[in-house]
């Protein structure tokens, strides 16, 4: 809707088989289908799907990856369409790893095992619906710090409430 109250309707044809959205002007929007982090031993440590897959399709697709990069003992994998730019996806992977490194201080497999929720949160700040949302590492770091602050505040409040309840029941 623009300032004059008019509505703009854009028709988008989504082909889930290819995973790309086609707009009226014929522009294809690149989209990441899913993200996987796999250990050197082959254990999946993090998965995030941006396209609808059944459980059977998910297990089949695990064998059909397109773009990946190894950092230390972890493989960072992203499935994209054949028409998408692999170098751009490699750059997104590198960007995600840099943010994880900045947060965890040289991220390792144990960081993902014990703090998987933070790895997901960082990924959600970086990608939405399989598309890059935020390219600034500083912005993502600031948002993560704000989230951590909220979590600490909530923990402190819960602790003080449980202390009050414990004192009241004595």
Q: Which residues of 62-153 form beta strands (DSSP E)? A: 67-71, 74-80, 127-128, 131-132
Average pLDDT over residues 94-106: 92
CA distances from 22 to 16, 28, 85 (A): 11, 5, 16
pTM check: above 0.85: no
Task: Return the H-helix or E-strand segment holding 97.
Answer: helix 86-104
> Given this model, what pLDDT does residue 135 score?
87
Q: Which domains does the chain have, with CATH numbers?
A: 32-168 (3.30.450.60)
**pLDDT tens-digit profile of 138-169?**
999 999 999 999 999 998 888 888 888 888 88
Q: What distance in Å separates the CA atoms of residue 96 and residue 122, rounded to the nearest whole number? A: 8
> Given this model, what pLDDT does residue 4 score?
37
> Is 46:127 a contact under the CB 8 Å cutoff?
no
Tokens representing 141? 């770091």
Tokens representing 74? 């972890």
Going by C-alpha positions, the residue among 145, 146, 117, 122 that lies closest to residue 134 is 122
């Amino acid at each position: 809707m623009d300032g004059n109250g008019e509505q703009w309707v854009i028709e988008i044809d989504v082909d889930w088989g290819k995973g790309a959205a086609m707009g009226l002007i014929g522009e294809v929007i690149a989209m990441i289908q899913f993200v996987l982090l796999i250990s050197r031993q082959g254990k999946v440590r993090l998965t995030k799907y941006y396209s609808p897959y059944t459980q059977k399709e998910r297990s089949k697709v695990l064998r059909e990856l397109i773009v990946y990069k190894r950092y230390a003992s972890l493989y960072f994998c992203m499935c994209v369409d054949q028409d998408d730019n692999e170098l751009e996806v490699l750059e997104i992977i590198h960007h995600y790893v840099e943010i994880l490194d900045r947060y965890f201080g040289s991220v390792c497999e144990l960081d993902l095992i014990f703090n998987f929720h933070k790895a997901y949160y960082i990924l959600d700040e970086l990608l939405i619906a399989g598309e890059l949302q935020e390219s600034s590492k500083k912005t993502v770091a600031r948002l993560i710090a704000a989230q951590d602050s909220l979590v600490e505040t909530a923990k402190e409040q819960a602790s003080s409430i449980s202390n009050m309840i414990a004192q009241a029941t004595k």
